[in-house]
């Protein structure tokens, strides 16, 4: 079957050729481990069982996972091995299984989850996505994913075109998040405060684009209210590849972040994740060394 999982709609046979994501239909993973740096209701005390997939259908120029987004890093594995990894992460004490940038491997992920669940893997499934994904692909995940951890990157398609070559990002992301919320409804938590069902919408602030940040925050709040938890992030880290874009080749200042948090409070948001301290560090970026694969 030709691939049209994301809005690139490459329509290529990935058993023969690579798509825009840089991947064939062979699953490629760069790391699988307990991850402590997600939102508290995802990482908890024991960590989120995170699987980092290689390749990406969006490939932002500022991506902190740039090494794996290009698709060069990682190891090819079978569906059966991916199922084993899910079970191994459960054995290590993971609160959930966290699929990072798995949009272009959805059919393979579904098959692996079927196998893992048949073998007793019963953790909540977190789908960590750029939101640049087709609605039809999300529908395939409805009975598999419990939590969507969804980026909302841009509110201006010109910005999206410049940094992600995705001039239709806004429309796609709005439709995708609408589908996610339709599937999961109001967030649900267990007795430990861990989310077991719901949607978290993440927005990473970028230097020089605070008006877009305000527009995104207002849109999500006015459209979804308590049905979505916002996560307002200050961890933008300009890596070497951003030197070609001097206007975003710097960290966000504390004052810029404070302005956006103040704005969120001013429009009535009182339930959102914010980041404190120095999070914009390369040391917070995992080593994609095939660990756990």
Of the chain, the percentage scoring pLDDT greater than 90 comes to 89
Q: What is the CATH number of the domain that holds 214?
A: 3.20.20.70
Contacts (Cβ under 8 Å, ≥6 apart) of 123? 49, 86, 89, 90, 94, 95, 96, 97
210 sits in which H/E element: helix 210-224
For residue 280, name the pLDDT band (cuts at 50, 70, 90).
Answer: very low
User: How many angstroms separate the CA atoms of 210 and 256, rounded?
Assistant: 8
- Cβ(107)–Cβ(78) under 8 Å? no
- Asked if 250 and 238 touch (Cβ cutoff 8 Å), the reply is yes
Please say whether the beta carbons of 95 and 48 come within 8 A: yes
pLDDT tens readout for residues 207-241:
999 999 999 999 999 999 999 999 999 999 998 88
Q: Supply the DSSP symbol for 67.
A: H
Give, as one character, the DSSP assignment of residue 271: S
Which residue shows structure tokens 């951003």? 242
Measured from the Cβ of residue 61, the count of other Cβ atoms closer than 10 Å reads 16
14: in domain = no
Domain that holds residue 185: 27-283
CA nearest 37: which of 199, 280, 207? Answer: 280
User: Is residue 136 situated within a structural domain?
Assistant: yes
Q: Is residue 289 part of a domain?
A: no
Q: Which of 76, 82, 78, 75 is nearest to 117 (CA)?
A: 82
Mean pLDDT (the chain) is: 94
> What pLDDT score was predicted for residue 282?
44
267: number of Cβ within 10 Å? 11
Flag whether 19 is in a domain. Answer: no
* Number of domains present in the structure of the chain: 1
Please give the Cα distance from 131 to 139 (Å, whole number). 13
Confidence of residue 283 (pLDDT cuts 50, 70, 90): very low
Q: How far is CA 212 from the centre of its chain?
A: 19
Say yes or no to pLDDT of 252 above 90: yes
For residue 288, being part of any structural domain is answered with no
């Amino acid at each position: 079957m030709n691939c049209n999982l994301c809005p690139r709609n490459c329509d290529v046979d990935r058993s023969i050729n690579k798509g825009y994501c840089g991947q064939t239909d062979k699953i490629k993973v760069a790391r699988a481990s307990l991850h402590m740096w997600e939102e508290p209701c995802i990482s908890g005390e024991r960590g989120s069982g995170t699987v980092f997939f290689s390749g990406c259908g969006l490939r932002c120029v500022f991506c902190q996972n740039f090494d794996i987004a290009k698709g060069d890093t990682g190891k090819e594995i079978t569906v059966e091995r991916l199922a084993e990894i899910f079970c191994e992460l459960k054995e290590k004490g993971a609160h959930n299984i966290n699929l990072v940038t798995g949009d272009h491997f959805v059919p393979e992920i579904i098959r692996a989850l079927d196998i893992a669940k048949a073998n007793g893997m019963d953790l909540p499934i977190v789908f960590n996505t750029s939101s640049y994904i087709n609605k039809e692909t999300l529908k395939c995940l409805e009975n598999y994913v419990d939590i969507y951890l969804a980026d909302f990157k841009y509110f201006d398609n010109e910005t999206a075109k410049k940094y992600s070559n995705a001039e239709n990002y806004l429309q796609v992301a709005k439709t995708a998040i609408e589908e996610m919320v339709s599937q999961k409804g109001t967030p649900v938590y267990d007795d430990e405060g861990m989310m077991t069902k719901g949607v978290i919408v993440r927005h990473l602030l970028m230097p020089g684009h605070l008006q877009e940040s305000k527009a995104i925050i207002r849109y999500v709040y006015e459209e979804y209210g308590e049905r979505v938890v916002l996560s307002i992030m200050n961890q933008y880290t300009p890596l070497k590849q951003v030197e070609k874009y001097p206007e975003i080749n710097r960290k966000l200042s504390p004052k810029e972040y404070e302005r956006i948090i103040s704005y969120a409070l001013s429009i009535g948001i009182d339930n959102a994740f914010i980041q404190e301290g120095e999070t914009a560090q390369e040391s917070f970026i995992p080593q994609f060394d095939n660990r756990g694969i």
